[in-house]
Structure 1
Amino acid sequence: MIIGIGVDLVDLARFERAVTRTPGLLERLFVPVERELPLRSLAARFAAKEALIKALGSSDGIRWQEMAVVNGPEGSPDFVLTGSTADAVAARGITSLHVSMSHDGGAAMAFVVAEGDPR
């Protein structure tokens, strides 16, 4: 059963300005392995994390450093959740997350579907 869906769109120029203007933003939003990626990929991962929060219905218990967007076994994006973020997702009855990301034409976007058995 679908528990929630979320979508987010990031303007690449605005994201780049925010990263340039705010020291430490990348360290606050991304785990070390993510920070090695190009800015357009980081923008898509930011969109994925925002879309996950929207799919969950709130940011209660969610920590930026406890969610990473990685390449899954088939090369498609996947979430790795830890700590209170993993606990918050499990508490909502979510057993599976599906994420799709793209970037083109000055924008990055992501779509997340959360599946499981709501409690």
Structure 2
Amino acid sequence: MARSKKTQAIVDGTLAMAVPDDTVGLGVDIVEIERIRKIIKRSPAFVEKVYSAAERAYCDDHAHPEVHYATRFAAKEAVLKALGTGFSEGIRPLDVEVRRTAKGRPYVVLTGQAREVARHQNVREIPISLSFTHTDAVACAMAITDESVAAQERRRDPMEELTRQFKEARTFLDELPASEGSGSSGAA
């Protein structure tokens, strides 16, 4: 469907909104499940070096633990990408732990150097999303900082702004003097 130049300019302007630097970090990672299965088979110590006891218990409690190990590894990578560090600055895989709420929603707990990096960046929360197919595990993480929350609060909601403008226009029209002798019967 072709767009008018005006519509396209609006779309382009919306898509080109500037996001303040260092206010939100986004990380995505994909891990091949078969690769994790082979690593675990070849080196069983891998799971103890990379996953917490709670993560191991969760994964091992499933029929195909390699799927859940791969998903958690992808989550650890995605979180560290969102922080902008990867496994550097002294951060270890065990510094990022994936847990689940009572309702099953995954969330991240940072410890050690990962926690220090997040504090230094004023990270308020790191929501994560996990998924997998028959072959791949994928995770997405977003490091939300105090600054990003403040910037969001400063932004005007487009609907609120439109409502405000409509009320201003209506007030302006209501304040216009009625023309005498218009003979308006109220029907348009």
The normalised TM-score by structure 2 is 0.58
8 Å contact kept, 1:61–1:88: no
Bigger mean CA offset, 60-69 vs 39-48 = 60-69
- Check 1:97–1:73 CA distance in 2 against 1; reply closer, same or farther (3 A cut): farther
SS class of match (2:30): strand
- Out of 54, 70, 85, which is 2:81 matched to? 54
Gaps of 5+ in 1: none
Q: Which is helix-richer, 1 or 2?
A: 2
Larger Rg: 2
- Out of 35, 38, 57, which is 1:14 matched to? 35
| Cα displacement (A) at 1:6 | 0.5
- Alignment-derived partner of residue 143 in structure 2: 114
Q: Which runs of 4+ in 1 moved over 3 A?
A: none
8 Å contact kept, 1:9–1:47: yes
**Count of residues in Structure 1 that have an aligned counterpart in Structure 2:** 118
| Cα displacement (A) at 1:89 | 1.0
Letter in 1 for 2:67: R
Q: Over aligned residues, Cα RMSD in angstroms?
A: 1.6
Gaps of 5+ in 2: 1-19, 60-64, 148-188
The normalised TM-score by structure 1 is 0.89
- Out of 61, 72, 76, which is 2:105 matched to? 76
Q: Which is strand-richer, 1 or 2?
A: 1
Letter in 2 for 1:26: V
Spell out, residue by residue over 1:17-70, the C-alpha distance to the aligned partner (whole angstroms, 9 max, x if none): 111112311011100111121221111010000001111111324221222100
CA–CA separation in structure 1 for the residues paired with 2:92 and 2:101: 21
Percent of aligned pairs with the same amino acid: 35
- Check 1:88–1:46 CA distance in 2 against 1; reply closer, same or farther (3 A cut): same
Please say if 1:89 is aligned against 2:118: yes
The higher-RCO structure (CA 8 Å, 6+ apart) is 1
